[in-house]
Structure 1
Amino acid sequence: MNTDYTSLLQAIRHWVTVHSEEESIISALFERRHIASDDFFLRADDVCHYVGFVVDGLLRYYILDDGIEHTYDFSPERTFTCNYESFLTQTPSTRFIQAIEDTTLLVISYDNLQLLYARLHEGQKFGRLVAEDLFVGMLQKLTSFYNENAEERYDTFLRSFPDLQERVPQYVIASYVGIKPQSLSRIRAQRAGKQY
């Protein structure tokens, strides 16, 4: 089994036990896909047909509001990516998922995911645990946005994604924090002890 699938298996094993005979089921249900930097895993108005596992690269999630991008999450290596609302209901997405870097994924279709749930001994448990984790994560992000000021939200970004500060463009980080890029520059400069 190649290293792409090895990292996928490690991620699944974080949630549930995978028996050796189930490894071939997993590798048969996922397929490899490459997305170039700035291209899209999903565009608004398209239906999300796949759940992806990021092997290498980085994706961001955003919405458009009057032409302004509002970034609300990231998927770095070894994380799953999807617009679950669109995926589960098979209705058009209101969100974008875009590659910030060249990104390699392993993707699974809706039908194949149902097979995964059915054919793995702990498949249903895996689906439930991932859904619960996503739900808690989204609630934490929502709470952060409404209860924290810009500096606190920036700190939350740094804690949540400690390896992304140098990989994500400043305007995207500012969008995630909910401020203008100039305000983010000011926060960074103050912390570096510089005059702005």
Structure 2
Amino acid sequence: MYRIRAFFEEIVTINDEDWKLFSSKLEKTEYSKKTILLKTGQTETYLSFIEKGAVRLYIPSLENDLTFGFCFENQFVCAYDSFIRQSPCTYQLETLSKTTLWRISHTDLQEIYARTAIGNTIGRLTAENLYLIKSEREQSLLNQTAQERYLSLFKNRPNLFKDIPLKYIASYIGITPQALSRIRKRIS
């Protein structure tokens, strides 16, 4: 739980009273590899902080899933659009390794926003962080070649390549696994 406070404290100071209320609402959960955290059609009711592990966001398909996001240790993960609207999700979240999450419910987070001096700031900063990750990916798909996206991903998020199957990385950068293999061969 101390990692969450450290994460916030890098951005803003949290007084002990606000932290006590916030931390009292957190629930620690552990999942094995390949656990579906949220299925298509379910409503996201938790904002989670990853203490350990990795999570993939994807649109399931009978042929090839479309992976559009990854979240790692010391990051928040959530089907955020479903969470803020409290409406059914159009994609899924799945663990890629053994994962430990600290979760806060939508209801409890609304209470934190209302009762603490820092709650709204934390909510805004979390939303901004999630937006920037999404925006960077969208821009890379529009402005870079597949090879440039791969090299940028390798440079900026090397932890992706440790434990994540290449088929998910290929999907994330918008190419087939075969095309990724050709790119990797060409640049090695």
* Range of TM-score over shorter length: over 0.9
Q: CA deviation at 1:118?
A: 2.3
Name 2:52's counterpart in structure 1: 56
Q: CA deviation at 1:12?
A: 1.8
Structure 2 residue ranges without an equivalent (≥5): none
Which one of 145, 148, 168 corresponds to residue 144 of structure 2?
148
Which one of 163, 166, 177 corresponds to residue 159 of structure 2?
163
Name 1:184's counterpart in structure 2: 180
Question: What SS does structure 2 have at the residue aligned with 1:107?
Answer: strand
Letter in 2 for 1:80: F
Q: Deviations over 1:57-104 (max 9, x none)?
A: 000111135642111111100000001111111111001111000100
Name 1:30's counterpart in structure 2: 26
Q: CA deviation at 1:170?
A: 0.8
Question: What SS does structure 1 have at the residue aligned with 2:49?
Answer: strand
The answer to whether structure 1 residue 136 and structure 2 residue 132 are counterparts is: yes
Q: How many residues align?
A: 188
The answer to whether structure 1 residue 111 and structure 2 residue 107 are counterparts is: yes
Letter in 2 for 1:27: S
Q: Deviations over 1:10-39 (max 9, x none)?
A: 112233211123332122111011121111
Name 2:80's counterpart in structure 1: 84
The answer to whether the 8 A contact 2:76-2:126 is kept is no
CA RMSD of aligned residues (A): 1.5
The answer to whether structure 1 residue 127 and structure 2 residue 123 are counterparts is: yes
Query: Identity percentage over the alignment?
Result: 33
Name 1:9's counterpart in structure 2: 5
Question: What SS does structure 2 have at the residue aligned with 1:91?
Answer: coil
Q: CA deviation at 1:131?
A: 1.4
Task: Give me the TM-score of the superposition, normalised by structure 1.
Answer: 0.90
Counterpart Cα distance in 2 of 1:41 and 1:92: 14
Structure 1 residue ranges without an equivalent (≥5): none
Task: Give me the TM-score of the superposition, normalised by structure 2.
Answer: 0.93
